Chain A
Amino acid sequence: MTPDARNAFERAGFSRRDFLKASGVLVVSFGAASALPLAGAQGPFDTRASHIDPRRLDSWIAIGADGKVTAYTGKCDLGQGMFTAQTQLVAEELSVPLSAVRLIQCDTDVCPDQGTTSGSQSTPTNFNDRNLALAAATAREALLGLAATRLGVNRDQLLLDAGVISVKSDRSKRVAYGELLSGKAFNLQLDPQAKRKPAGEWKVLGQSVPRLDMVSMATGQFEFVHNVRVPGMLHGVVVRPPEAGATLTAVDENSVRGLPGFVKVVTRKNFVGVVAEKPWQARQAAQKLQVQWTPGRGLPAQRDLYDFLRKQPSRDAYVVNSKDVDDRLSKAGSVVKATYLHPYQMHGSMGTSCAVADVQGSKATVWSPTQSAYPTRSGVAMLLGVPADNVRVVFVRGAGCYGINGADTVSYDAALLSQAVGKPVRVQLSRQDEMAWENYGFPYVIDQRVGLDANGTIVAWDCESWNASLGGRPGTNTPGNVVTGMLAGFSPAPFAPRAATEPGGFNNGSNAAPSYVTGRVGGTAGGAGIVASERVLTHTVASPFFTGPLRSPSRLQNTFAHECLIDEIAAQVKADPVDYRMRHLSDQRLKHVIVEAARAANWQPRPSPKPGASRTGLASGRGMACVVYEGDNGYVAIVADVSVNTATGKVTAQHLYVAQDCGPVSNPDGMRNQLEGGALQGLSRALGEEVTWDDQKVTSIDWRTYHSLMLGDDMPTIESVLIDRHDTEATGAGETAITVIAAAVGNAIFDATGIRIRQIPFTPARVKAALAMA
């Protein structure tokens, strides 16, 4: 942290202890649990002590005198259906109708701090035995206890139904939830002994409850953050630098003074914005504003990106290292080597990001689509120079986000502009500002060497990757991790090269290790496979662009490389790709989804490429890929049937078969919707999406220059097989299918044509060129 950032952090009310904690260097052993400071009780997500104590039941659940349940959550709906699923969860545990539950999402005035809604963590966090689920179970048990006293019977004599507790033997003896508490607080702690209802008894959870927001969305009544209107609200438009690294030299306010509705030009270091009475006026003024910038710092040539990544100073880490890989490879019967390449890609949200801020003196309210309400509160406080406790962030849904789009940065934009004019300001980014400056998904170069014995069995797997990173989620104390914070004078998290050290344990959260290795670190094997000679080394270098966790961050890129390579090896030893995977896996749940996907696809065992694979005409083929998402957060396998027009190079997916095991399913149709959307978003990324730039600036700045699949494009049919397991914890399900699709399509292209393409995206030009080279 720079001294400026440090000062802003302390002005926001964070102590030196918070600073150290946020910096990850604090090691304190607390004494008795009762002495534990509040912030320390907030698990891995804490930003700082919130007045909402997550250990207290009343922080999560309130029962009105009318019996209605209000639930408070720190995990929000980004379009993935989490609003409906969490409402189902609360209704289920409390045995009330869905209509009796009102869910409040991510309002820092009333909701507990659950960090960021990300990483497919909402389900594991809130749907197992902690947090919201535990709160709802605790509330139910508390209500039963109160009813037992009120009705003078043991609680095992009681029956719960629709918010009413009655005596089993005499149903006329009854009491409603509302009467038990009369609108008062529970005044209880979460009870770790409170038991969840067994999945086998669920009536509401586990059902395909229709999305609670569906009708209002379809009829144009749903309130997005874009629709928030505050009395006296003005409109802001930001002026970003024309080139990467350009800094502000002059702004001529006279160039816009007198324009209709013009209110003010706002600058803060390199941040420039214009405020006007109406949005079109603000946009016009921003266009006319004369701003002088220094030239940009220059960008590496796009065609050399992957070499560039290899040559930069890097921060290195071993994920696993059995230390015998070189030896095993040197003695192997044969070694398969390949390099896979994945470009920068963008979130490219459907709507450009928007927020409304109302800064009055030292108090601020921000209506924001951020996935990180509490961290955004901290970032806004630092930017404004006010205590974090004076900032309220109210989540209001934006367009689908998939990681970190412009939601956080536009919240900062609105806050800075509102502070400058002392009135509420709404900012919605332009398409170009959204796309040119968002935090892109990481580019990757992945080298792999795999040794085989005489039987074609894998004996060693070596994987070494380079990726580029800059900024990311701002977290507690780094608003410079997104463009507005950086322009306003805060630095992104510093990048420090570092040599690799041996791993302390096996963590495959980024799926850096393929499924086929044992993942043995310190005597414990955490992987899904049997290959014991294993080395996974990652290099992270400084990125010329902001990066961030785009849906399935790193997991997708790594899985593309691993799952294509296993297919290459299977082809080399003339083995069926499904059988060959199964031979090298130990994890039963992963094997199960492979079997189910293959069954759904009517997979016929044979090696790839298929007999008669064609480099002319319309070729068709099939490909498989699988993964344990994040090493332990969902099991998925996919089969893709694709066709390749060898004349044009155009790849079209015909059918997808996806099998998924994410433990107990909260809402089967909602899960299918996520799975379908993930598969197709992944298909779009595999076939066309790539951030482009020239020597100074990003050039993929709209839907003509950034190539997404559209609604009219040919789409595959999708058959999904959900394995609804009740004997395990619930895992995430929003990033599974997207992780495996690129590899499955690459493998299917190979099956169809015998051509292996190792670089995303599989554009017609790239496919055609590969066919021509063959």
Chain B
Amino acid sequence: MSSITLTVNSKPHTIDVDPATPLLYVLSDDLALRGPKFGCGLGQCGACTVIVKGRAMRSCVTPVSAVSGAEVTTLEGLGTIERPHPIQKAFIDEEAAQCGFCLSGVILTAKALLDQNPKASGAEIQQAMSTVLCRCFTNVRMLRAIKRYQAGGVR
């Protein structure tokens, strides 16, 4: 066990934890966040995605020690129920979910891409989403929501 400090959604936390613990476990268990999800634990499906230094990161295969001192953003760090972030709003407007379990990874992966590359082409968006899974197959709506966000909330 060792003491690790990290900032999650702008709030600093110091936790006493095995430094090999995957970040996802710390976020879900120690910090009781609901955004990041355990989908596979293998970095294959995207459900656990968080944003660190502007990049989408798979928290299920990232030891918490690797983000010591870093700023981590989860889905609940973007916006609130009252004031959702524009990308959350785009998904809400498109009703782009069924069970919703994949939503955190889908939204954060897309946001990280479009923050880096606001004019990403359709092919670049597909590339970024190529290892993100939605088993309810809300694919069409989700891609529409991503493009709606990219277009500034309109389509």
Picked from B21, B84, B92, B134, the residue with its CB within 8 Å of the CB of A711 is B134
Interface size class of B (residues with CB under 8 A): 35 or more
Picked from B18, B28, B46, B107, the residue with its CB within 8 Å of the CB of A260 is B18
CB nearest to A708 among chain B residues? B133
**Cross-chain contact B99 with A702 (CB below 8 angstroms):** no
Interface size class of A (residues with CB under 8 A): 35 or more
Please give, as numbers and ranges, the residues of chain B lying within 8 Å of A683 by CB-CB distance. 137
User: A666-704: which have CB < 8 Å to B?
Assistant: 669, 673-674, 676-681, 683-684, 702-704
Residue interface mask A189-221, B partner, CB < 8 A = 1? 000000000000000000000110111111111
The B interface, classified by DSSP as helix, strand, loop or mixed, is loop
Across chains A and B, the number of contacting residue pairs, with CB separation under 8 Å, is 194
Given contacts A350-B47, A681-B135, contact A214 B34 (CB under 8 A): no
Picked from B18, B102, B133, B138, the residue with its CB within 8 Å of the CB of A280 is B18
Given contacts A210-B95, A712-B126, A712-B132, contact A220 B106 (CB under 8 A): no
Picked from B29, B45, B98, B104, the residue with its CB within 8 Å of the CB of A677 is B98
- Give A697 Cβ to nearest chain B Cβ, in Å: 18
**Cross-chain contact B97 with A214 (CB below 8 angstroms):** yes
**Cross-chain contact B97 with A218 (CB below 8 angstroms):** yes
- Give A762 Cβ to nearest chain B Cβ, in Å: 17
Residue interface mask B120-141, A partner, CB < 8 A = 1? 0000011111111111111111
The 10 closest A-B pairs by CB, nearest first: A79-B99, A712-B130, A220-B35, A400-B99, A220-B75, A217-B100, A680-B137, A220-B76, A399-B101, A712-B129
- Give B75 Cβ to nearest chain A Cβ, in Å: 3
Task: Report the bound CA distance from A713 to B129 in whole Å.
Answer: 8
**Cross-chain contact A279 with B140 (CB below 8 angstroms):** no
Please give, as numbers and ranges, the residues of chain B lying within 8 Å of A409 by CB-CB distance. none
Please give, as numbers and ranges, the residues of chain B lying within 8 Å of A712 by CB-CB distance. 125-132
Picked from A222, A349, A681, the residue with its CB within 8 Å of the CB of B100 is A222
User: A594-651: which have CB < 8 Å to B?
Assistant: none
Please give, as numbers and ranges, the residues of chain A lying within 8 Å of B107 by CB-CB distance. 218
Most A C-beta atoms less than 10 A away, residue of B1, B45, B106: B45
**Cross-chain contact B140 with A717 (CB below 8 angstroms):** yes
**Cross-chain contact A218 with B135 (CB below 8 angstroms):** no
Whether a CB of chain A sits under 8 angstroms from the CB of B56 is no
- Give A212 Cβ to nearest chain B Cβ, in Å: 11
Please give, as numbers and ranges, the residues of chain A lying within 8 Å of B131 by CB-CB distance. 710, 712
Task: Report the bound CA distance from A80 to B25 in whole Å.
Answer: 28
List 15 contacting pairs A-B, 8 Å CB cutoff, sorted by A. Answer: A79-B100, A213-B100, A220-B34, A220-B35, A280-B29, A281-B18, A350-B101, A350-B134, A352-B40, A352-B41, A399-B99, A400-B136, A676-B140, A711-B46, A711-B106
Task: Report the bound CA distance from A402 to B78 in whole Å.
Answer: 30
Please give, as numbers and ranges, the residues of chain B lying within 8 Å of A708 by CB-CB distance. 133, 135
Given contacts A397-B99, A673-B138, contact A219 B133 (CB under 8 A): no
Please give, as numbers and ranges, the residues of chain A lying within 8 Å of B154 by CB-CB distance. none
Given contacts A220-B76, A221-B81, A260-B18, contact A681 B37 (CB under 8 A): no
